[in-house]
Structure 1
């Protein structure tokens, strides 16, 4: 089974990608989306969202990093995809799944699923713009307000020449409320000729087993579950069991590498965000979060984490 680390906007940044792929179990990961809107972006924007482009488009563990783009103008997205490939991206992923209201208001993400013909146009333009050896993939939800066009959108991605399709098993309107409809992903998989990767509500190895069985997919994309349990991919692959004592050193590593990458407040926010996810399964993380909740200096938070490791 292939396992992919999801492109979680505002969460799976460069530094968290490094830690999670260091722990291991992933075939590749996908960046947060690069927003494309009406112009060819300068290289510095690509490097900001995907610093791995300067490192062979791989994390420090050697995991390939695919570049995700979000936009609705086929020609503009295609031109930026071509530049991303010139800068070293090994694959281009196209975002038709973001549920954020701000993104949707500006005609990006899941709202495009109301227009399968536009989904086709964006994928086809990118496919034509990059070398045939570079995979082009797409990530979509089951729909925008409903899932009535799920198969139309999937077939559009397929017909446009995508190499594979990732499907999050909910509509935009359903957000992240459980459940994810893995059986609907199966319907999508059966409607297209390209591989389909299932995504949504995989928090445990048992969830992964059920998702694979219900969706019929041989590949899964892990998102929030991977952030909540950094060893999830290894648990799925090898049945490994890990506790807080295994995770704490990686949290300390993350806090150290984060220092100097932003303002102390920004860095502190990143650390607390990860602790908020970790507390789902690990009580010591909840205790740590309570202890640092009012701290606004990442260096101080690191000292507190170090004292608890």
Structure 2
């Protein structure tokens, strides 16, 4: 493509890390050095650590922002084990392509980029039902992997490379970044349903979930409004494209809580992170109202709810371009 005159609109950076088996030390060290500029320049990160561990099932541990991009790519690439069938077709036959998309996990090579730096990331891996037994042992070698895969190592690697290529090509070349900016509205809607279920109990304790409902509505409307504006704009105009892309590429970053210390709580993302400020911690605490009411801590819950709400409202305001503010009569 380059020989034929193609030039990407955006840069591609190829990196290789050390100390991946010790908590992704190499990647995290690099992130710490470039953290201040990443949310202004980095669009997405692809992790290919242990990418070929089989030739049967594709797993994509991913930020929701990349789901549409991934869905489009698996419809284009042939499955390495089933000639004539795309990865999408094969997944649908085996119970649904949604099984491919999985949440980021702590030991993933992609995790730190999203949870620590606020950059949409995905880790792609081909596996099979019987786990490859030699990884991280002296017996691990290309020839042994080739043997376990029945000679399919080359074709599996090619399928994965084509899959990444399809996604990277769009990220590097499309006028507007193909990220699903509305994805987190659905995630927070699930929390709203949980809060609604316990609404009477919370109010009896003097706790109002109204701020969360308001912030979720603001984010949902902001994302929908931005998407509609993009759909009806002249995306070939450089100034217009730059304006929208700047908003889109900061969505993930604005889900990093500004209310916890990056030193004490490095994984500040309220959806994918680790700590008391996260959606998962809030949901687990809320569940105590049913399972063990005596362990429910109202003071802690107020703090959790406030931190999550402020972060979500900040993301909504950032998406619309407003200066961060909340004008609300509810108090915690």
* TM-score, length-scaled by structure 1: 0.28
The structure having more radius of gyration, on CA atoms, is: 2
- Structure holding more strand per residue: 1
TM-score (norm 2): 0.27
